[in-house]
Structure formats: C-alpha cells, structure tokens
Amino acid sequence: MTLDSILVVGGGLAGAHAAAALRARGYRDAITVVGAEPHPPYDRPPLTKSVLAGDEGDEGDEGDEGDTSFLTDWVDLGIDLRLGERAEALDLHDHLAGGVLKTSAGALAFGGLVLATGAEPVRLPGEGRQHVVRTVDDVRALRPLLRPGTHLALVGAGWIGAEVATVAAAKGCRVTVLEAGEAPLAAAVGARIGAWTAPWYAEAGVTLRCGTAVTSVDPGGLCLADGEFLAADVVVVGAGARPAVGWLRDSGLEIARGVVVDESLRTARPEVVALGDCAAWWSPRYGRHMVVEHWDTALKASELAAAALLGEDVCHDPVPYFWSEQFGRMVQYAGDHQGADQVVLRGSPEDPEWAVLWLAGDRLLAILTVNRPRDLLQARRALTTGCAVDLPAATDPGTALRDALRVP
C-alpha cells in the first residue's frame, strides 16, 4: 500500500509525536496535522500541577514557550500544522485507500490517516459556570480565580480532582471536594484503598464529602442529589473524560467507547490507525480491548502507530503506567488490577510512604506506590514479563521489592 499523503487528526501528544515519527522513519510525502486547539502541540500533565500553580509558563506566555510545549521545528520537518480546525466528519473511499476529512475549515483529502483526537472532559448539566482542566486555555481561565478566601467546589476526587484541590488549597482557597463514590480514587483503585488517601485532604485543609452526587451546576453553586444547594465562588468539574469519537459515528469505523483497533493500532482499514485516549486497542497481555487515558501509553503508541501505518509489523501492548502529585505525595500506578483476588500492603497508609500490590494467586497484576519510586520501578520491570510474589517478603517494607519478585 502506497500512501501519497498522511493526515493526522489531533494536535496533542499522540498525534504530534506520531507525525514526527513518520518523518523519522523516512516518510517524505505530505503530512498534515489538524488540531482543534489554536496552540502548537504541548504536554498536558503539567497543566494540573506546575502550570496551574503558576510555577512555570505555558506555551502562550509572551516571550516564553514554557516547559509544556514540544520544541519540534515543524517547518524543518515539513509538517503542515493546521491549528484551530475541528474534525467534523470522515468519509472513507469505498474501493481504494484514503478518503476525505471534513473539518470546520473545509475538506482535506488523504491517503493515510492517524486518529489521535484524545478525550473530552465530562461536563454537568446546569446554567452555572463550570471549569474543567483539559487544555491550556482551561488553565488560563481558572488560574486567576484561585485566590485566598475563594470558595472552590470541585466535583470528583479522582486523579485530576486531587491535583486541582492540591493547587487550590496551596493558594489559600477554601476547597470543598464532592465525590459520588465511597472514597477518593474509588473508580481507579477501589474504595478500600482510595479511603487510605482521604486523610490527605483534611491535612491540606480541604473538605471532602464522599457519597455526594451533584445534579447540576447552577449560578452561584451546585445542586446536590439530596436537594442541598452548595454555594461556591468557583466550580471545577473533574468527573472524568470520554474519548472524542462522536464525530466518527457515520464513518464506518467500529467504535466501542474508543476507535476499535488491533494490537498494531490498525482499524479494519489498514490505512487508518488510532492511538492515545481515543483508541480502544486490543491487548494480548490482558485479553481485551483497552482504553488507557495516560501520557505514557500515548507516547509509546506514537512510534508504533507510525510504523504500522507504513506497513511494518508491530505490537502495542504496554503495561499501563500513571503518576500523580497530590498533597505533597508522589503517587504512581502500574499494571491492571482487574481479576485480582488479593491485595498486599507494604507499610502502613499512616506512614509517609507505602505501596499496594494486587495479585491473582501469587502473580503480580498491578502496583500502587506512595513515595516509593523504587518499588514502582522494580515492579514495573517485572510486570512486563510476568512474575510471582513471595508474600512474606513483599509485606515487609524493609525488604527490597525486587527480592520479593520471582521472574520466570
């Protein structure tokens, strides 16, 4: 299959790195990147951390590109960045490769297509102003409002919610976090383990209300499911995100939460690949399609997506990894704990550092660490090949984790 031009839809981490990888692999024909945002590609993880806190610039600050921008010289690479254009529909040819992308600025023909449109934050019903933190413009709108004495109501005690609460509390805001689940991070790591992070909120002066559902964002605050109205100066919604694939509903591609692709990141059309937050990729390791909305997975996929589009035989099957900074703690997670039948705790949740291992029998499935980066590193290496766990050694936080792991 010969591709006379390649179109990348999505100007975030996944799309931008895939475009650069195509050039690095020797592709010399036209590459166009279509991005809905008006800004050149930039990194998102710092947005809820140092950029929201004002500790570093963002790519739009005058005279400062900041640490969030990709410093790739797109002109030298011969990559056409079409910023501020939103993808609206996809029309694939019936009997030959390629098709036409319809955007807010017109139609673009292509021979090969990279889908990397990311995810869209969940928003709540209501007429009140609600902030989300997904883009640099979101941060620019929110950051000036984080002033001492401001009452900020934050919906969701997940990864993003905890990071925003951390920054807002440090800036002197009165912060109330409303979580529908039983505990912080319940959807990510389970209510039992998530509950061990609840004291962090109180330590930071943040009011945490679990088991509290929000029905709408209204002028002046939030309406709760029990009828209570919670007044707030600023409302931030951190209730998760969904793959941005609604515009593909009439494309003929299979959509199941994300764009369905195989382990090579190809759709049923070999000239179309998908990666990043919008892709539901088949994992031989876990035996199911995965949607992993994390930076590390998107970055690893970009090189492979480029290779797959150029006809190479590749397999994208990483061990998921994520990290978060919240309330003065470094929290890291690797693996996938679906199917675990026991949990092993290293240390105590009351200590400054501890870790949790999820096991199926004696096989390690996943790890969560709090201020124990060495445990994370050693477990992450072992998870790529599979390993058994020596339980007595694993429960002793004074024993190096590598000495508790038996790699086949």
Is residue 153 over pLDDT 90?
A: yes
Residue 193: φ, ψ to 5°: -75, -40
- Say if strands 207-210 and 174-179 run parallel, antiparallel, or are unpaired: parallel
* Predicted local confidence at residue 66, as pLDDT: 39
Fold agreement between 5-120+242-309 and 123-239: yes
Q: Find out whether 265 and 301 touch, Cβ atoms under 8 Å.
A: yes
Lowest mean pLDDT among 65-74, 145-154, 305-314, 395-404: 65-74
Task: Say which DSSP state 26 is in.
Answer: T
Count of CB atoms situated within 10 Å of the CB of 129 = 12
CA dist 231 → 7, 234, 238 (Å): 47, 9, 18
As given in the structure block, the two tokens for residue 377 are 């590193």
* Domain 328-406 annotated CATH 3.30.390.30: yes
Average pLDDT over residues 96-118: 96
C-alpha 386: how far from its chain's center?
A: 25
- List the domain boundaries for the chain: 5-120+242-309, 123-239, 328-406
Q: Find out whether 161 and 177 touch, Cβ atoms under 8 Å.
A: yes
């689940």: which residue's tokens?
181
Q: Specify the fold of 123-239.
A: FAD/NAD(P)-binding domain (3.50.50)
Q: Find out whether 315 and 340 touch, Cβ atoms under 8 Å.
A: no
Q: What confidence tens digit (pLDDT) does each residue in 264-286 have?
A: 999 999 999 999 999 999 999 99
Which residues lie closer than 8 Å to 260 by C-beta, 6 or more apart? 253, 254, 267, 280, 289
Beta bridge partners of 106: 103
Average pLDDT over residues 24-49: 93
Beta strands in 24-98 (DSSP E): 30-35, 79-83, 87-92
Q: What percent of the chain has pLDDT over 70?
A: 95
* Predicted local confidence at residue 54, as pLDDT: 87
Average pLDDT over residues 182-190: 96
Beta bridge partners of 241: 121
* Predicted local confidence at residue 71, as pLDDT: 54
CA dist 51 → 43, 68, 175, 391 (Å): 11, 8, 19, 41
Average pLDDT over residues 235-252: 96
Average pLDDT over residues 323-335: 96
Phi-psi region of 94 (alpha: psi -120 to 50; beta: other; left: phi over 0): alpha
Q: What confidence tens digit (pLDDT) does each residue in 363-400 have?
A: 999 999 999 999 999 999 899 988 899 999 999 999 99
Which residues lie closer than 8 Å to 289 by C-beta, 6 or more apart? 256, 260, 280, 281, 282, 283
Instruction: Find, among 202, 36, 196, 57, the residue nearest to 116 by Cα.
Output: 36
Long-range contacts (CB closer than 8 Å, 24 or more residues apart) made by 385-394: 387/363, 388/362, 388/363, 388/364, 389/344, 389/357, 389/359, 389/362, 389/363, 389/364, 391/344, 391/362, 394/344, 394/346, 394/357
* Predicted local confidence at residue 70, as pLDDT: 61
Q: pLDDT-derived band of residue 50, with 50, 70 and 90 as boundaries? A: confident
* Predicted local confidence at residue 61, as pLDDT: 42
* Predicted local confidence at residue 68, as pLDDT: 55
The CATH architecture annotation of domain 5-120+242-309 reads 3-Layer(bba) Sandwich (3.50)
Q: pLDDT-derived band of residue 64, with 50, 70 and 90 as boundaries? A: very low
Q: What is the mean pLDDT of the chain?
A: 93
Q: pLDDT-derived band of residue 44, with 50, 70 and 90 as boundaries? A: confident
Average pLDDT over residues 292-309: 94
* Predicted local confidence at residue 407, as pLDDT: 75
Is residue 207 over pLDDT 50?
A: yes
* Predicted local confidence at residue 268, as pLDDT: 97
* Predicted local confidence at residue 63, as pLDDT: 33
